Structure 1
Amino acid sequence: TLGFPREREAFDRLWPADFITEGQDQTRGWFYSQLGASNVAFGCAPYKSVLMHGFALDAEGRKMSKSFGNVVTPEEVVNQFGVDVLRFYVLWANAPWDDLKFNWDGVKTIHRTLNILWNVYRFPLPYMILDSFEPATGEGERWDDSFVRAHIRDMPEEDRWIISRANTLIRAIGEDMQEYHLHRETRALAAFILEDLSRWYVQLVRPRMWLEEDSPEKRYAYETFYYVMRRLITLLAPFTPYIAEEIYRNLRLAGDPESVHMLDWPEADDLLIDPAIEDDMEVIQSFDDAVATARQAGKRKLRWPVSETVVVTGDDGVKTALLDLNDLARTRANARTVRVVTGTWERILWQAAPVMRAIGPEFGREGPKVKALIEGADGTALKAAIEGEGKAELDGYDITARHVTFTEALPAGVFAAPMKDATVYVDVTLTPALEAEGYAREVIRRIQEMRRQLDLNVDDYIVADVHVADGRIAALIGEEEWKNEIAGEVRAAALTIRRTDGERPAEPFALEKDWDVEGIQMQIGISRADK
């Protein structure tokens, strides 16, 4: 191929090979024969690195064979899910040197992951177009990261966090690439798309999409999205070349190379990596999961506000994160306050249980009476007395720590869930003010769904009419504060909220629907507002 030995220039430049790869069956037939021949002829190895790959088996680990009827051809997967899905799946499913146990469920998982990537990419585009957003450019109208580097200290926590996570990902993938740990790279990319971007950052930044066009926080969100997507598609390009190229062609600026595959491989920027904010955000994510669990136990949806969420912990890292990112914690918990308590929360109650193996020998025939006294006592007061004075008196009997055990008893309306190194308590008790906000959020969600059904543009205004069967609830959300909030969120030029009188509006709306909102019947009608 190189014309050796007649021509030496290409041979001297390209040989020995940087990398070769073959299947397990080629250990002796290809790897070793090359090694032996090269050492005999030239006294050195013919390659610098070797990767031995496994074979493709069926889901049970059997060889694919027509006689078994278990053959899956690449064309089948490509025709159903696309070539990028197949490529990513094969690299993601196992280490390169292990056999692949082909599984359709795994293929579907990767298909969903890449669909989510596409949805994340598309999420900010309507807002960017509406605001005529242009990413900051460097020399020759070519994109660079100078804006992010210059403003990183001024950006909100969630922007600094996702930028840090992106650079941590770049560093990790660069290290794994050197060792050909392709499964680690693809799994890290999938986790970043699903967990960091879709499940977390998009949810945190969504409200900022509705800020005024010239808002710094909105500009930061746009620049952060653009930065992360540019870095991400460059990392994805070797694994999903087609979807990476499709996204790049839309994000590409005038001075940028024509293809994503012409970009330099990204290097992690140590100045943009912030381990402290990554650690803090990991705590908030654990807190977020615990709040969701406690709310589910208390049958209180996340869009309904709660008065207080308390975190009891002895861990300094948990305490620091919840204090540093308290605004974010309150937003995620949808709570008026989020407090951190060391030791025991003052509202926790205790239930006392007698220890008969200690009571029986000590009190003899009086044991059953002592047992009844402990069971009927105020467990919280009993525990406080024993901890404070070493004993408590019940009807003339001295009760000490060996006679009783205590279990936590939550106050009415409070529900608990564990998180890493802490316990989260959520008080789901409703007040009229909390009810008003909760029902307002429910109305907003339903009107937004109706906007989608009418296929309205993001910037379209509507007129809306809300009839509520319950007069008390109608009065709560009809107050000026919540009426204005609803109108602002759904872009209503005119909004009417009133108790249902049984009559339909004289002028029909473009869309009218009956809703059951937490047991309250509502009739909602909307139309596009006249310009």
Structure 2
Amino acid sequence: VGSLKELEELAGAQLELPDLHRPWVDKVVIRCPSCGGEMRRVPDVLDVWLDSGIAFFASLGYPKDRRKFEELYPVDFITEGHDQIAGWFYSLLRSGVIAFGHTPYRAVLMHGFALDEQGREMHKSLGNYVEPDQILRYEHGSRDVFRWFVLRNTMWEDLRFSWRGLSEVYSDLHVLWNVYYFATLYMSIDRFDPGAWPLHKLMDKLRPEDRWLLSRFTRFVREYTESFEKYHIHRAARLLRDFVVEDLSHWYIRLVRPRVWVEEEEESKLAAYATLHYVLFNLLPLMTPLLPFTAEKLYLGAFKDEDMPLSVNELAWPEPDPALENPQLEKEMEVVKGVVERALALRMKRGVKIRQPLPRLLVYTDDPAVASAVRKLAHVIRGQVNVKSVEVEPVSRVREVLKVRFKPVYQKLGPVFREKTGEVVRALESMQDLVYAEALERKGEVAVRIGEEAITVKREMVEVYLEWAEDFLGDRLDSSFIALDFRISEREMAEGLARDVLRRIQFMRKELNLPVDAYIAVKLYVPPEARVLLTPD
């Protein structure tokens, strides 16, 4: 029976029913056309999943109204929890195949459930239930923080909620805010006009680090968009975090700070501003699905003028620009990042602050790609490691500053060589060239000569130590080596002291809450030995 009218025709009377459900429908009696007997409602109830399973056409008024159904079927997207695999997902599939011969949906996104930090279901009786307003009142919480936290979780896996995890996302959002604050602050001070200095007008003035960021952003846009198209929202959320925190804040902003501190309208500074404006403006519509409140706030406060759309949601989704892609430069910058990271670790190990200039960084490599990247981007290494020069040498020359020490493992050597153990140890002590260590790593053994006899020493029989020259400290970098020269001249010592003074002045300015463009007078009170270093020649 498909309608009240049909029911009345079958019953042979006009029905005055307040509702077509039980118990009123049970009063309706239909005569059997074959035997004349009475027919009443079957008391059994169909599985309730039948109702949900036909939602894809019943909600559109089908079969009475075919227009909407034919326009929208099959539906583009459905989503529910992973408990619906045998429930709604299957009931829809079953009904679609039976009624129309194929699945009624094009895509399914299956999400997990929110659990506590230990992986337990949340219940008030367990005391682990979290109210939404608790998150909003939390010192490191907000609507966007919670959205970013939830959306980073792999969509089809259960989410383990934790206040610590929320704080980590808050920290990332704070980094994003600081990136925009840094760029807009200095652009405002210098009255940078993006309309007068668009990116395309400064392409020939871009430095390698600018071109690197534009290439990274182009790749980010492509991967980020593909993640949304595949409903991999968690991957998009993580890509956004990595680009903002690692590429923008921890790398590019570090590289361009000295350029924006130049007072005059210098082309290099304009190129940095144009690069930042291009990336940060186009990033706004991209972040809107994940961080809508933050994106709107940044757009209205830092970018919108009277000729622009009212909301960030009206901005076009950026398309990746192939002309800005430079995969080779991205690879070279990864090499340089590795060199910088290892060199800074060596500084820390030696206890020498980054503000203290060092004479040189040596890169020993036989890899043409590494050598080319280091030479091409030497200015980046110099600035980030604070060294006067970067030199590239073949690996064979590392022996000038590096010796290898073999320490015997007597528990392994003794049982094998017995009375010859002492001679083997003395022979190992004389083998200080890197070539022996490399042979040991490559082959798992090294040949040792005892008189005329060649004896094989296995890898497990010795421990290998790298011993650097007195004023050097280095480390391996894959198949290459890097070393820092710590022989600091008096002039370099003076530069380091001057940087310490500048840092202290900057800290005091911050304590006094002075504007960035405020001029101050400074007096230094220093001991005689420091006066000599700080007095200009």
* Cross-structure match for 1:526: none
Q: 1:273-322 CA distances to partner (integer Å, 9 max, x unpaired)? A: 11011111111111111011111121111111111111122322221110
Q: What are structure 2's unaligned runs of at least 5 residues?
A: 1-58, 437-446
Cα separation, 1, equivalents of 2:172 and 2:517? 30
Counterpart for residue 322 of structure 1: 374
* Aligned counterparts, 1:74-473, within 5 A: 74-80=132-138, 81-93=141-153, 95-136=154-195, 147-249=198-300, 250-344=302-396, 345-350=398-403, 408-469=466-527, 471-473=528-530
Letter in 2 for 1:350: K
CA contact (8 A) 2:448 2:454 kept: no
Alpha-carbon distance change, 401 to 226 in structure 1, aligned in 2, over 3 angstroms:
farther
CA contact 1:57–1:100 (8 Å) conserved in 2: yes
User: Residues 34 and 46 of structure 1 are in contact (CA less than 8 Å); yes or no, is this contact kept in structure 2?
Assistant: yes
CA contact (8 A) 1:314 1:343 kept: yes
- Deviations 1:111-157 (Å, cap 9, x if unpaired)? 110011001110122221122112127xxxxxxxx932453343011
Give the conservation status (yes or no) of the 8 Å contact 1:392–1:399: no
2:130 pairs, out of 52, 72, 89, with: 72
Q: Over the residues paired in the alignment, what is the CA RMSD in angstroms?
A: 3.3
Decide whether aligned partners of structure 1 residues 90 and 414 sit closer, same or farther in structure 2, where only a CA change above 3 A counts.
same
Out of 75, 78, 93, the position equivalent to 1:17 is 75
Partners of 1:392 and 1:28 in 2: CA distance = 68
- Structure 1 residue 62: Cα displacement: 1.3
Q: TM-score when scaled to structure 2? A: 0.77
Counterparts of 1:370 and 1:107, CA distance in 2: 58
Change (3 A) 1:254 1:278: farther
Tell me, yes or no, if the aligned pair for 1:163 and 1:272 is still in contact at 8 Å: yes
Q: Answer whether contact 2:60 2:69 (CA < 8 A) is retained.
A: yes
- The residue that corresponds to 1:140 in the other structure is none
- Measured at CA, do residues 47 and 475 of structure 1 come closer, stay the same or move farther in structure 2, by a change above 3 Å? same
* Aligned-partner Cα distance in 2 for 1:3–1:364: 96
2:9 aligns with: none
Residues 413 and 429, structure 1, Cα contact 8 Å, conserved in 2: yes
SS in 2 for 1:28: coil
Contact 2:404 2:434 in 1 (8 A): no
Asked if 1 retains the 8 angstrom alpha-carbon contact of 2:401 and 2:468, the reply is yes
Q: Does 2:512 align with 1:478?
A: no
Per the alignment, residue 47 of structure 2 pairs with: none
Q: Report the Cα distance in structure 1 between the residues aligned to 2:399 and 2:362, rounded to whole angstroms.
A: 11
Deviations for 1:375-421, whole angstroms, at most 9, x for unmatched residues? 6x7957999xxxxxxx999xxx9699869998542111211133344
Matches within 5 A, 1:40-79: 40-79=98-137
Q: Which range is displaced more, 349-358 or 183-192?
A: 349-358
Q: Percent identity?
A: 36
Q: Which of the two has higher C-alpha Rg? A: 2
- Pick from 15, 28, 37: which aligns with 2:95? 37
Q: Matched residue of 1:332: which SS?
A: helix
- Partner of 1:70, secondary structure, is coil
Classify 1:169/1:361 alpha carbon distance in 2 versus 1 (closer, same or farther; 3 Å).
closer
Cα 1:400–1:266 change in 2 (3 A) is farther
Q: Distance in 2 between the 1:192 and 1:362 partners?
A: 56
Distance 1:15 1:348, change over 3 A: same
Distance 1:363 1:73 in 2: 72
Alignment length, in residue pairs? Answer: 458
Q: CA deviation at 1:229?
A: 1.0
1:337-385: CA deviations, max 9, x gaps? Answer: 11122223252243666989999999989x969977986x7957999xx
Cα 1:59–1:336 shift into 2, 3 Å: same
Going from structure 1 to structure 2, the CA distance change for 1:328 and 1:352 (only over 3 Å counts) comes to closer
Q: Secondary structure at the match of 1:60?
A: coil
- Cα distance in 2 for residues equivalent to 1:407 and 1:72: 53
In the alignment, the residues of structure 2 paired with residue 226 and residue 310 of structure 1 have an alpha-carbon distance, to the nearest angstrom, of 36
CA distance in 2, matches of 1:337, 1:458: 31
1:75 Cα shift? Answer: 2.6
Q: Is the 8 A contact 2:403 2:466 kept in 1?
A: yes
3-state DSSP of counterpart to 1:124: helix
Which deviates the most, 452-461 or 115-124? 452-461
Cα distance, 1:255 vs structure 2: 3.1
In 2, Cα distance between equivalents of 1:14 and 1:30 = 19
* 1:203-227 deviation digits (Å, cap 9, x = unpaired): 1111111223421111111111111
Distance 1:466 1:8 in 2: 85
Please, which of 80, 84, 93 is the counterpart of residue 26 of structure 1?
Answer: 84
Contact 1:212–1:218 (8 Å) recurs in 2 = no
Report if aligned partners of 2:149, 2:166 keep a CA contact under 8 Å in 1. yes
2:145–2:169: 8 Å Cα contact kept in structure 1? yes
Q: 1:127 corresponds to which letter in structure 2?
A: Y
Contact 2:428–2:448 (8 Å) recurs in 1? no
Which SS does the other structure have where 1:425 is aligned? Answer: strand
Distance change >3 Å, CA 401–CA 34, structure 1 → 2: same
